[in-house]
Each structure stands twice: as structure tokens, then as C-alpha cells.
Amino acid sequence: MPVRFIAGAVCPKCGAMDTLKAGSEDDGRVMVRECVDCGYQDRISQGVNSPREVATRVTPQSVPVEVPASPIKILDPNAKTEDS
């Protein structure tokens, strides 16, 4: 199944950030999230009985977990790439 990591997602079990990968099963009717750190798995059915709100990357997944801030790389849009 196609799998992608969910940027900024926090594992509801172990609290690790950016360890959740998302994919789908059953022709996309079931959304699967899995933590590569602790093995946590979560399946969300998106069938006919699913609630009106479709689960998306921005859907709140659980109670927010306090995590330490990590540095990010800021790209300067004015900087030219200097690969040479």
C-alpha cells in the first residue's frame, strides 16, 4: 500500500514525533497509521458509516502531547542554489 510519513504527527502511544506513517487498505476505505518507533497501529474505517468529517492530516488525532522543540532548516527564498 502507498505509505507516507505524516509530518508533525505525534504517536499517541509513545509520543514520538514524525514516526507515524500513513497508508490505506481495502481500496482506500481503511486508513492505517503506524508508528515505526513503537509499533502502534491505528485503523480508521472510512466506509459508509463513517462520520461526516473525513479523517485528514489536519484532523486532531488525540490529546496534544508536549514534545521538545526541534530545530528546523529554514530555506532562504532569495538564496541561489550553489551546487557548483
Name the percent of the chain in helix, strand, coil, to the closest 5. Answer: 0, 25, 75
Return the number of the residue (16 or 55) whose C-beta is nearest Zn ion. Answer: 16
Q: Are 42 and 15 in contact (CB under 8 A)?
A: no
Return the number of the residue (18 or 37) whose C-beta is nearest Zn ion. Answer: 37
CB of 58 to Zn ion, least distance (A): 20
Q: Is residue 11 near Zn ion by the rule CB under 5 A?
A: yes
The C-alpha angle 68, 20, 41, rounded to 5 degrees, equals 125
Return the number of the residue (13 or 21) whose C-beta is nearest Zn ion. Answer: 13
Note the residues at the interface with Zn ion (CB under 5 A).
11, 13-14, 35, 37-38, 40
